[in-house]
Structures are given as C-alpha cells and as structure tokens.
Structure 1
Amino acid sequence: MKKFFMCMLATLGLTTACAQQNFENVDVQGFAKLLTDTSVVVLDVRTSSEYAEGHIQNSILIDQGQSDFVEKAKATLPLHKKIAVYCRSGRRSANAASRLAEVGYKCVNLKGGIMAWRAANMPITKE
C-alpha cells in the first residue's frame, strides 16, 4: 500500500511539473515597458471598489470574480491584441490570464499585482 501511494504521489508531481503555463509573467519593469506599446490593452481584474481606490492609467475593468468574466472579456477585448493583466497581488490576474489564454488571448500577467506596482512608485490614477 505504501508503494502505491508513493507511485501516485510521484505521478501527481510529474503531472504538475509538466503542466505548462499559457501566459507570461513579468515584473513591474517588464510590465511598464509593455505599457509603452500603444497596441497593448491593460486589463484590471479586481472589483470595482478596488479599482476606484486607484488603478493603472487607461486600464479596462472586468472583475474576474464574476461568473460572466470570460463573456465580458470576449465582448470587450480585441483578440488580436496582447492583454496586460493585473490585480491586487497577481493571483487573480494569473487566473484571469490563464482563462483568457484558453479562449485565444495572448496575456501577460503583472507579478505582484498593483501592490508591486505601487511599491515601485509607479503611477496610478483614480480617474
């Protein structure tokens, strides 16, 4: 029985290790550089109240926690453009980037989210 469990754990580990990420993660500097490209669409996937507290200039808000997130994204975001995705800490945006990549978007996630962005003294707006 012990050998069986060891084999199952090893198989699970190999499966997890082989899973490929379908989007790119970048740090604040990489994200800022990406935003200099006018063809990139900036997507904030936080809640509307978080967005109101401050967001990256020209970002589009689509809350990834809503059940119709993918449908709203498909109706709003151009499929042929790169999508720069962020949230508060990077976790929700990684989830959103993965979901969007599954339906054909090319996504880049901000590691550390807007918390990292603010820590690097990058600009935000409340407009």
Structure 2
Amino acid sequence: MKHFICLLVTCMFFIACKPQSDTNNITTLELKRILEEDSIQLLDVRSTKEVKQGFIKTAIFADYFDANFYNNASRKLDKNRKVFVYCRSGNRSKKAIKILSKAGFMCVNVLGGYNQWKKEN
C-alpha cells in the first residue's frame, strides 16, 4: 500500500509540474469561421517577399525580421483587442507573440500559418 501511495503522489507531482503553454492557439479552419463572422486584428509577420506570394485578406503586415518589428506592429494594433498572429508555418508567430504579449497585447497563434491556410482554402 505504501508503494501505491508513493507512486500516486509521484504521478500527481509530475502532472502538476507539466509546463503549461501561455500561448493561445487556433487552427486555420477556426480562423476562417471567425473571419466570416467578425472583423478581427489579423497580423501577418512574414517578410515582404513571402507576402507577395499571397496573404489572408484583411491582414495587417509587420515583418518579424525587421529591426523595428515591435514598433511597426504596435503602431498598427489596438491593445484592447485580441491579435491573431500568423507567419509561414507557425514558428515566427510564436516568437512575435512573446514580444507582443510582454507589451500587453492579447495574442492568438494561428497553427500551421499561411502554409496550412493555403492547403485548406
């Protein structure tokens, strides 16, 4: 019985210590439904070259690799509204969200980015 209780306590410890993601995520299918129903702040953090290959209608652009990324993005965004962020595949958007979140923006990451959007739309 002691071993069972010890095992149970150990399992509960590891479950409780599991790192929690501080990033909200949304799929491109969910984003499509939201865009059909509402006007949202949608931030594209890809480069100009990537944007020329296509983008999601109504997106606001701020290149993550630009040295002035934060200033460029924050000038265009309303801190009182949620910001949906996408890039090519989902990696840059997570990094951009960390920067924006530290400044008080409420952000949602679009999983799979523009690549996933193109596959589904």
Fold in common (TM above 0.5) = yes
Cα deviation, residue 33, structure 1:
2.3
Consecutive unaligned residues of structure 1, counting only runs of 5 or more, are 1-15, 123-127
Tell me the C-alpha RMSD between the 2 structures. 2.0
What is aligned with 1:113?
113
Cα deviation, residue 117, structure 1:
0.6
* Counterpart AA for 1:90: G
Q: If you compute each CA radius of gyration, which structure gives the higher value, 1 or 2?
A: 2
**How many angstroms apart in 2 are the aligned matches of 1:65 and 1:17?**
32
What is aligned with 1:32?
32
What is aligned with 1:72?
72
Cα deviation, residue 19, structure 1:
5.7
Deviations 1:37-71 (A, max 9, x none): 21x11110000110011000011110011121111
Question: How many percent of aligned residue pairs carry the same amino acid?
Answer: 32
**3-state SS, counterpart of residue 105 of structure 1:** coil
**3-state SS, counterpart of residue 56 of structure 2:** coil
Deviations 1:88-109 (A, max 9, x none): 0011011111211111111111
What is aligned with 2:58?
58
**3-state SS, counterpart of residue 104 of structure 2:** coil
* Counterpart AA for 1:49: K
Cα deviation, residue 28, structure 1:
1.3
Consecutive unaligned residues of structure 2, counting only runs of 5 or more, are 1-16
What is aligned with 1:100?
100
TM-score scaled by length of structure 1: 0.75
* Counterpart AA for 1:18: P
Cα deviation, residue 34, structure 1:
2.7
Cα deviation, residue 31, structure 1:
1.5
**How many angstroms apart in 2 are the aligned matches of 1:20 and 1:114?**
22
**How many angstroms apart in 2 are the aligned matches of 1:31 and 1:47?**
21
**3-state SS, counterpart of residue 80 of structure 2:** coil
**How many angstroms apart in 1 are the aligned matches of 2:111 and 2:19?**
21
**How many angstroms apart in 2 are the aligned matches of 1:95 and 1:34?**
23
Quick check: 2:61–2:73 contact (8 Å CA) kept in 1?
A: no
**How many angstroms apart in 1 are the aligned matches of 2:68 and 2:99?**
12
